Every structure is written in C-alpha cells, then in structure tokens.
C-alpha cells in the first residue's frame, strides 16, 4: 500500500514536472515575484543577410479578413517579384488567433510575421521574446513615411526600437450608420436626422411602430460584448464621462469612471431604447457581422459600427442606400467627444524568424502606396500613410465618416504613451466579471439591475487597479495611480504631445 | 507426496498466471500510453495550473497555492454556472431518457417496416456538428426566426426566445434533447435487442398487451443497462459546451452560462485585463470533481438497486 502511494506521488511529481517543462512556464513564489527585478537579457542581434538565391518561406498569420482578397493578390505579386520567396498566409478569427499563435510561440513554431494578440501589450511580448526589432532591416525613409503619432513609444516601439507596425490609422468605430430606405418607409426625412438622445428615442419608436415587426429602430450585436461596451463607453463620453477607449481605465479624482454620473445616464438612455422595444429583437444574440447583414436587409434604421462596414456593404449589398451620422448627444449638449487612442500595434517580425531581412522587405511592400491605395479606395480603411488617404479616399460615405471622425472624436490620453511602464499594469490587471459589456447584454435581455451592477463593477475595478499598480510598483517599475489620471485632459479636444509634456 | 505434487501445481499455476498478467499488460500498453498522454497528463496538468496565478500567455507564473480555489468558492458567477449546468442536466436527462427509450421501443418492437429509415432520421442530428446545429437554431429561434413567424400566423406576439433569461435555457434544452436523442436511442436499442424474442411471444400467449409487455417484462430486464445509460446521459449533459457557446454564448447575462462556458471565457477572453488560465483551471478541476462525485453516487445507487433486484 505504502509502495503504491509512493509510486502515485512520484508519478504526480513527474507529470507536474513535465507540465512545467512542456509549457515552458517559469513558476515563482509570490515573494519572489514581488522583489524580482526582471532581468532582461540584452542580446545584440546580428543583422541577417539572406543570399540572393536562397529559398525562403514566409509564414504569415493574422485576423485581417476584410482585406484578405487584396492581400492574397498582393502576395501573388510579391512572389512574382521575389521568385525565391514563398508566402504562406493564414487568416484566423481574433479569438482563434490568440490561442493559435500563443501555442505556436510556446512550441517554438511562431509564424515569421504575426500581429500582437489583443490584450497583450508590447512590453510583455518583447519581454517574452516574441518579436525582434526591425530598425536594422527597414529604411529610415520607410519609418518616416508613417503619419505623426502612428509609431509610439510603448505601443509600437520600445527604447527607440520599432517592434510592430500599426495596421491602419486608429479612428473612432462607434459612428451611427443609417439605412435611407428604412427611414423613407417610416416617413423620416434624411434632413431631420435625430441629434439628441430624446430625438433619437422618439425617432426609433416611430420607426419601430411603422415597421410593425418588419423593421426596427436600431440593431445591435449583443453576442459581442466588446461592441456593447464600446457603444456605452461612447455614450458616456458624450455625457462627459471620460471613459476613454475599450480596455482603458482612466481615473478622475482618483476614481475610475465606470459608475460616473455620465455612465449612469448612458445606461439609462440605452435601457430606455430597450424598454421602448426599439432594438431589433435578435439584437441580444447577434454577432457584429450578423447585425450588419440584417441592417443591410432593411431590418433596422440605425446601427453603431466602424468604417470597415462600408466596403463590406458596397461589395455584398450594392443596393443598400446608407449614410453615416454622429452619435446623438445628451439633450443638454455634448460634454465630451468620442474618445479614441492612437494607432495600435499590429504586425511584427518574430524573434525566431530566420530571414528578418525578407520579412522587412515584405512589410515595406505592404505599406507601399501601391498596396495601401487599394485598401483606401475600397472604403472603410484609413491608412497610416497620410498621403495615401488624401489621394485615394473617394467613397462618399467614407469621406463623411472621415470628416465626422475629425469633428466628433478626440484623441484621448494613453497612459502607456505617458509612461511606458504602465503597460506592466495592464499585463497585471485581471479580467473582472461581469464586464461593462456583459452588463449591457443584461440590459438588452432586461435581466439585470444595471445600476447595482455598474456600482459593483466600479468598486471591483478600483480595487483591482490599485492592487495591480501596487504589485507592479513593488516589482520595481516606476508607476502609480497618478499615471492613469490626466488633469489637463479636456474631453472636447485632442490630447496632444504637448499636453503629455505639460501634465 | 500428494502435498509436494499440489505445491508444484500451485507454483505452475502462479507462473502461468504471472505470464498471462505480463501479456495482459503488454497488450494494454498502447491503450495505457494513449490514456496517460491524452487524458492523464492534461488532467494532472490542469490540477497543477489551478495552483498558479497565470494568464496562460506568458512564460512566467506565480505559485498561488489554493488562492484560486478560495476565490472560486466566493465567486457567485461560478456557482451560477454550476447551477445552470445542473439545471440543464435535470431538465434534459428525463426527456432524453424517456423519449429515446420510447423511440427505441417503437422501432424495435412495434414498427418493423421501415424502422431502419426512421432510426436513421432520428440519428441524423447526432452526426451533425453541434456548432452548426447551434448556429442554425439561433436563426430558427431568433426574434424574426421561423418559430416566431409561425406564432405570428396564429396572431401571437413574437417571443425573444434566446434573448430572454426566462426562455433561453428552455430553448437550449429543447435543442439539446433533439440533438442527442438519437445517441440514447441507439443505446436503448442495444439493450432491447438483448431481450429474447421468446419472452415477447410468451407474454403475447399469456394475453399481455403491448404496454404490459413493456412495463412488466421488457423494462425490468433492461433496467441494469438503463442505469448505465442514465449515468452516461447525466455526465454528458453536465459537460454541455458547444451548443451553448454557439447558441447563447452563456447569455443573456449568464442565464445559460454553464461550467464549461465559464471555464472557456475565463481562460481565453477578456475585454479589459488579462485572461486567467490558472483560475479557469481551478474551476475546471472543481467541476470535474463534482462530476466524478456524481458518477460515484450514480454507480453506488445503481449497485444498491441491482443488489435489491437480485435479492
């Protein structure tokens, strides 16, 4: 009996040892993790030069399904121009991507080029040795061609070394599209589009009544809690909530804004629309592409979405007559604009890539006018190369969208730009359930006391943020809660580089 | 002399038994290896991960001891998920067992002509990918889906089947029963085919009607196998994942969130903050232990019942 127990204990220890080795996870105690200063090995990378006749296969994985057709044509052209290069390109959904790429990296089989997975900050990825800097392989002119604010320290760059490039210029993705056909059927003139929350509520009620079950005021994608969170954060920002973009937590007078007066107002407005029956009844179970498709089938008058819809509708629903307008503002006027942060990290060269020079050549071609112009022409895409936007943005709705973005949205401060060490706080913070998006989902289903839930969310967020900041500070990073508070931030104006310096 | 001979025999017997044992193990090696690699190792790894404060994305983790379990036992959303798993099981299992048994009896003992065709029809949903079924059902039960259109024909108001906390679980159960009834029908068919045809004939000669034949003769004979089918059905219902993930994603507002969707969401997705693989593992381990306990209880009850039967 004793022998059996001993053998079982040994087997357990062996398997656990294997688990640690198999997943390449280094386990430390809580005390070690507090005092341990991350000892990062500085390795001077030798510049690789691939021989002219050497056969190279570039494995590229990302989630850019909306540009897939253009991308494949681009790859064909690139391979014709570089006959020794073979490109293996895979497009995954964002969820699949994270699981697949993280597993591949751990197994030492990372693709040569891959984007930074959502939820991971650049500092974490570099610390984990996922990417290598590309400065030695790309030209200075290439880096200079990116518009101002596209390459930011802590976001795409660390210690002056560029690790990732942004896919597109970051613009707001919560503007209101309207279906002209549905509005006309409901007797709403395009000249009298609702501007305030009360007007919007009234118009949605009128449309839903006129639709008699055939079409509704507004449609949302309740199965995607990130979209719901974005919508409500935008509404709260208009009411002066200083909520910033999704995944950001900003502090005002030391407190997070999840339960601010503006957030409660935004939730009240959303809840009112649900209670009126103005939402398409499928809203709570739809994903964004499904909601987009039903909007195009004239089942709703309004949808809050991003610019990417424009090219999809143009291709898949050429008969759809639609326009774009700003989000309606609170009745007493907007106290803030729609917040967005600068361009975010996307594609980088894997640290394990054997031909980083070829990967860099690919990237330079990918950001060339030749390729970027096609994406901009398709509509729904704003290039990080300003000159391309100016020349090739011709779609009428896209031009309206771009114009509205400049008028209705304002660049919000980003704690990582102000202090790159705050990226460690984002890596430390653990997800809180229910999130704001999940609470909004509860509002859609009318199965939640949202006032109580956002109060709890705010308390939990505050506690978790304070814990994470303390943990990171104890680990030796120069961060404090003040890094998440921007006293000189006026939510009606862009937060500029000078403001970062002046804070 | 006799004692010596019997001693030699027992030594020979033991040697032969040992040889048989060794060969048994040799033949079992492939199965044991596969079990250890694909079941034992992941289970024990999960136990280990449950003691870590780890997102699963980095190569550094902090040993947290039992902290994850302490937090889990105070997490109302975990208990909501466990409660929903049991709710799904409690509603689903009786329907699955009775409908599948009725279908099996019908196609085994009553309908003889074309029984194979009917069996195939009822088995079709089983071979259809669950996630595809989930997506199709999402549209059928959607606000403007065919179910509501049919209600509209009778002048009834549309119902928000999947978007309402009151109805979502019921709809998921209905689809789950429809999807899995074929599997249990096949199990019952196997059980029914073990009942000798002579017994049916004897019952008929004694003047028993169909219901009496079924309830007094067939059912008592297949009950021991029924116990095993019930345990399989309970465990399988508690593990429901793909149907709920595709139909409701655990919503609306956790109304259909079961243990498996809780674990998946905690391990892989978050809008703000990092995922928590360690915490998700502790939830998986705890729920796994609950299922094992259910299995043991089920088997014990089955054992007691079959003992009573033999007495």
* Mean pLDDT computed over every residue of chain A: 88
Top residue of A8, A285, A448 to mutate, by most chain B CBs within 10 Å, is: A285
Residue A102, pLDDT score: 83
Full domain range(s) for residue B225 = 75-310
Do B6 and B118 belong together in one domain? no
Residue B81, pLDDT score: 95
Cβ–Cβ under 8 Å, residues A161 and A126:
no
Average pLDDT for B13-33:
92
- Which residues of chain A are within 8 Å of residue B138 when distances are taken between CB atoms? 285
Most confident of A34-43, A44-53, A363-372: A363-372
Q: Which domains, ranges and CATH numbers included, belong to chain A?
A: 56-169+343-412 (3.40.190.10), 175-340+435-458 (3.40.190.10)
Do B260 and B192 belong together in one domain? yes
Pairing of β A85-91 and β A56-62? parallel
When CB atoms are compared, the residue of A249, A280, A283 closest to B272 is A249
CB pairs under 8 A between A and B: 172
Average pLDDT for A94-109:
81
Is residue B70 a part of any domain in this protein? no
Which pLDDT band, with edges at 50, 70 and 90, does A37 fall under?
Answer: very low
Top residue of A25, A122, A424, A460 to mutate, by most chain B CBs within 10 Å, is: A25
Do B13 and B86 belong together in one domain? no
Residue A441, pLDDT score: 92
- Using the beta-carbon criterion (under 8 Å), do A282 and B271 form an inter-chain contact? no
The SS3 call for residue A135 is coil
Tell me which residues of chain A, numbers 132 to 191, contact chain B at a CB-CB cutoff of 8 Å.
none
Q: Is A432 on the interface with B (CB under 8 A)?
A: yes
* Mean pLDDT computed over every residue of chain B: 89
Distance between B292 CA and the closest CA of chain A, angstroms:
19
Residue A471, pLDDT score: 92
Is residue B192 a part of any domain in this protein? yes
When CB atoms are compared, the residue of A20, A432, A447 closest to B252 is A447
Tell me which residues of chain A, numbers 389 to 428, contact chain B at a CB-CB cutoff of 8 Å.
426-428
Distances (CA, A) of A363 to A75, A139, A166, A346, A358: 11, 11, 11, 12, 9
Distance between B286 CA and the closest CA of chain A, angstroms:
18
Which pLDDT band, with edges at 50, 70 and 90, does A373 fall under?
Answer: very high
Is residue B59 a part of any domain in this protein? no
Q: Is A222 on the interface with B (CB under 8 A)?
A: yes
- Using the beta-carbon criterion (under 8 Å), do B158 and A249 form an inter-chain contact? no
pLDDT at B310 over 80: no
Is residue B63 a part of any domain in this protein? no
Do B173 and B110 belong together in one domain? yes
Distance between B155 CA and the closest CA of chain A, angstroms:
13
Residue A31, pLDDT score: 64
- Using the beta-carbon criterion (under 8 Å), do A25 and B52 form an inter-chain contact? yes
Cβ–Cβ under 8 Å, residues A477 and A421:
yes
- Using the beta-carbon criterion (under 8 Å), do B163 and A281 form an inter-chain contact? yes
Q: How many domains does chain B have?
A: 2
Do B201 and B260 belong together in one domain? yes
Residue A18, pLDDT score: 54
Beta bridge partners of A350: A131
Do B22 and B87 belong together in one domain? no
When CB atoms are compared, the residue of A99, A281, A434 closest to B143 is A281
Question: What tens digit of pLDDT does each residue of B175-213 get?
Answer: 999 999 999 999 999 999 989 989 989 998 999 988 899
Give the closest residue to B176 by CA, choosing from B184, B166, B164, B186: B184
Cβ–Cβ under 8 Å, residues A444 and A283:
yes
Which residue from B minimizes the CA distance to A102? B57
- Using the beta-carbon criterion (under 8 Å), do A445 and B255 form an inter-chain contact? yes
Which residue from A minimizes the CA distance to B43? A15
Tell me which residues of chain A, numbers 312 to 351, contact chain B at a CB-CB cutoff of 8 Å.
none
pLDDT at A176 over 60: yes
Provide long-range contacts, Cβ within 8 A and 24+ apart, for B289-298. Answer: B290/B82, B290/B238, B291/B235, B291/B238, B291/B239, B294/B234, B294/B235, B294/B238, B295/B231, B295/B235, B298/B227, B298/B230, B298/B231, B298/B234
Residue B309, pLDDT score: 66
CATH number at residue B290: 1.10.3720.10
Q: What is the model's pTM?
A: 0.81
- Using the beta-carbon criterion (under 8 Å), do A19 and B49 form an inter-chain contact? yes
Do B275 and B137 belong together in one domain? yes
- Which residues of chain A are within 8 Å of residue B61 when distances are taken between CB atoms? 25-28
Do B80 and B42 belong together in one domain? no
Do B179 and B42 belong together in one domain? no
Average pLDDT for A83-99:
86
Residue A40, pLDDT score: 45
Is residue B66 a part of any domain in this protein? no
- Using the beta-carbon criterion (under 8 Å), do B61 and A27 form an inter-chain contact? yes
What phi and psi, each to the nearest 5 degrees, are found at residue A61?
A: -130, 135
Distance between B67 CA and the closest CA of chain A, angstroms:
11
Is residue B289 a part of any domain in this protein? yes
Do B80 and B215 belong together in one domain? yes
Cβ–Cβ under 8 Å, residues B89 and B233:
no
Is residue B58 a part of any domain in this protein? no
Q: Is A471 on the interface with B (CB under 8 A)?
A: no
Tell me which residues of chain B, numbers 140 to 169, contact chain A at a CB-CB cutoff of 8 Å.
142-145, 148, 152, 158, 160, 162-165
Is residue B106 a part of any domain in this protein? yes
Residue A390, pLDDT score: 86
Which pLDDT band, with edges at 50, 70 and 90, does A13 fall under?
Answer: low
Q: Is B81 on the interface with A (CB under 8 A)?
A: no
pLDDT at A21 over 80: no
Residue A41, pLDDT score: 47
- Using the beta-carbon criterion (under 8 Å), do B252 and A24 form an inter-chain contact? no
Which pLDDT band, with edges at 50, 70 and 90, does A84 fall under?
Answer: very high
Do B15 and B108 belong together in one domain? no
Do B177 and B254 belong together in one domain? yes
Question: What tens digit of pLDDT does each residue of A440-488 get?
Answer: 999 998 889 999 999 999 999 999 999 999 999 998 899 999 999 999 9
Q: What is the length of chain B?
A: 311
DSSP string, A286-331: --HHHHHHHHHTTSEEEEEE-THHHHHHHHH-TT--EEEEPPPB-T
Distances (CA, A) of A220 to A216, A237, A266, B69: 11, 19, 15, 37
Question: What tens digit of pLDDT does each residue of B59-97 get?
Answer: 788 899 899 999 999 999 999 999 999 999 999 999 999
The SS3 call for residue A132 is strand
Average pLDDT for A129-141:
93
What is the DSSP code (8-state) at residue A279?
B
pLDDT at A239 over 50: yes
What is the DSSP code (8-state) at residue A16?
H
DSSP H or E run through A233? helix A225-238
Question: What tens digit of pLDDT does each residue of A196-222 get?
Answer: 999 999 999 999 999 998 999 999 998
- Which residues of chain B are within 8 Å of residue A16 when distances are taken between CB atoms? 44-45, 48
Top residue of B161, B267, B271 to mutate, by most chain A CBs within 10 Å, is: B271
When CB atoms are compared, the residue of B143, B251, B274 closest to A427 is B274
């Amino acid at each position: 009996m004793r022998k059996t127990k001993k053998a079982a204990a040994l087997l357990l220890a062996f398997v656990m040892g294997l688990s640690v080795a198999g997943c390449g996870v280094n386990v430390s105690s809580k005390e070690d993790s507090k005092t341990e200063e991350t000892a990062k090995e500085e390795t001077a990378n030798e510049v690789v030069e691939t021989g002219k006749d050497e056969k190279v296969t570039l494995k590229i994985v990302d989630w850019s399904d909306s540009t897939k057709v253009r991308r494949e044509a681009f790859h064909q052209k690139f391979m014709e121009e570089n006959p020794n290069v073979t490109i293996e390109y895979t497009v995954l959904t964002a969820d699949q991507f994270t699981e697949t790429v993280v597993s591949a990296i751990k197994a030492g089989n990372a693709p040569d080029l891959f984007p930074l997975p959502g939820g991971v900050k650049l500092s974490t990825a570099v610390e984990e040795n996922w990417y290598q800097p590309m400065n030695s392989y790309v030209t200075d002119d290439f880096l200079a061609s990116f518009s101002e604010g596209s390459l930011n320290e802590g976001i795409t760059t660390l210690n002056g070394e560029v690790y990732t490039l942004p896919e597109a210029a970051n613009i707001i993705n919560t503007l209101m599209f309207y279906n002209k056909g549905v509005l006309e059927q409901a007797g709403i003139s395009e000249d009298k589009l609702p501007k305030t929350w009360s007007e919007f509520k009234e118009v949605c009620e009128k449309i839903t009544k006129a639709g008699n079950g055939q079409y509704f005021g507004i449609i949302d994608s309740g199965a995607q809690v990130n979209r719901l969170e974005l919508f409500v954060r935008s509404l709260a920002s208009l009411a002066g909530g200083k909520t910033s973009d999704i995944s950001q937590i900003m502090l005002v007078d030391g407190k997070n804004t999840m339960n601010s007066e503006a957030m409660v107002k935004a939730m009240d407005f959303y809840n009112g629309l649900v209670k009126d029956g103005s939402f398409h009844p499928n809203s709570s179970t739809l994903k964004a592409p499904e909601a987009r498709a039903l909007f195009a089938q004239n089942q709703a008058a309004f949808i809050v979405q991003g610019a990417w819809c424009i090219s999809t509708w143009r291709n898949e629903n050429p008969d759809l007559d639609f326009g774009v307008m700003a989000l309606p503002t609170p009745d007493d006027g907007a106290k803030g604009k729609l917040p967005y942060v600068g361009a975010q990290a996307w594609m980088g060269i894997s640290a394990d890539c054997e031909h980083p020079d070829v990967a860099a050549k690919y990237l330079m071609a990918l950001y060339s006018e030749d390729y970027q112009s096609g994406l901009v022409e398709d509509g729904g895409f704003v290039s990080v190369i300003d000159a391309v936007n100016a020349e090739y943005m011709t779609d009428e709705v896209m031009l309206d969208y771009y114009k509205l973005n400049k008028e209705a949205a304002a660049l919000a401060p980003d704690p990582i730009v102000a202090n790159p060490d705050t990226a460690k706080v984002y890596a430390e913070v653990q997800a809180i359930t229910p999130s704001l998006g999940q609470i909004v989902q509860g509002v859609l289903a009318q199965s939640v006391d949202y006032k109580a839930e956002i109060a709890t969310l705010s308390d939990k967020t505050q506690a978790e943020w304070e814990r994470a900041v303390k943990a990171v500070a104890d680990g030796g990073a120069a961060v404090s809660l003040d890094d998440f508070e921007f006293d000189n931030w006026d939510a009606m104006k862009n937060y500029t580089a000078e403001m970062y310096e002046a804070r | 002399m006799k004692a010596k001979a019997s001693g030699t025999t027992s030594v020979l017997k033991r040697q032969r038994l040992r040889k048989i044992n060794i060969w048994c193990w040799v033949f079992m090696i492939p199965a044991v290896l596969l079990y250890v690699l694909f079941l034992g190792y992941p289970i024990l790894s999960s136990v280990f991960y449950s003691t870590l404060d780890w997102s699963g994305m980095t190569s550094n983790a902090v040993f947290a001891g039992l902290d994850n379990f302490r937090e889990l036992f105070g997490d109302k959303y975990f208990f909501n998920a466990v409660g929903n798993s049991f709710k799904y099981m409690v509603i689903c299992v009786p329907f699955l067992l009775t409908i599948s048994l009725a279908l099996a009896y019908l196609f085994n003992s009553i309908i003889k002509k074309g029984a194979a065709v009917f069996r195939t029809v009822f088995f079709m949903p089983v071979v259809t990918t669950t996630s595809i079924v989930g997506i199709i059902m999402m549209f059928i039960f959607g606000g403007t889906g065919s179910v509501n259109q049919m209600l509209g024909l009778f002048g009834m108001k549309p119902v928000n089947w999947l978007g309402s906390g009151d109805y979502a679980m019921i709809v998921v159960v209905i689809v789950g029963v429809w999807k899995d009834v074929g599997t249990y029908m096949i199990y019952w068919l196997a059980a029914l085919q073990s009942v000798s045809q002579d017994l049916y004939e004897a019952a008929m000669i004694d003047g028993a009607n169909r219901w009496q034949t079924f309830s007094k003769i067939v059912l008592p004979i297949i009950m021991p196998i029924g116990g095993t089918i019930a345990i399989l059905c309970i465990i399988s219902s508690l593990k429901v994942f793909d149907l709920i993930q595709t139909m409701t994603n655990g919503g609306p507002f956790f109304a259909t969130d079961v243990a498996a969707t809780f674990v998946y969401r905690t391990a892989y997705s978050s809008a703000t903050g990092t995922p928590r693989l360690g915490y998700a593992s502790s939830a998986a381990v705890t729920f796994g232990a609950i299922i094992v306990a259910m299995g043991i209880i089920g088997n014990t009850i089955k054992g007691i019942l079959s003992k009573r039967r033999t007495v």
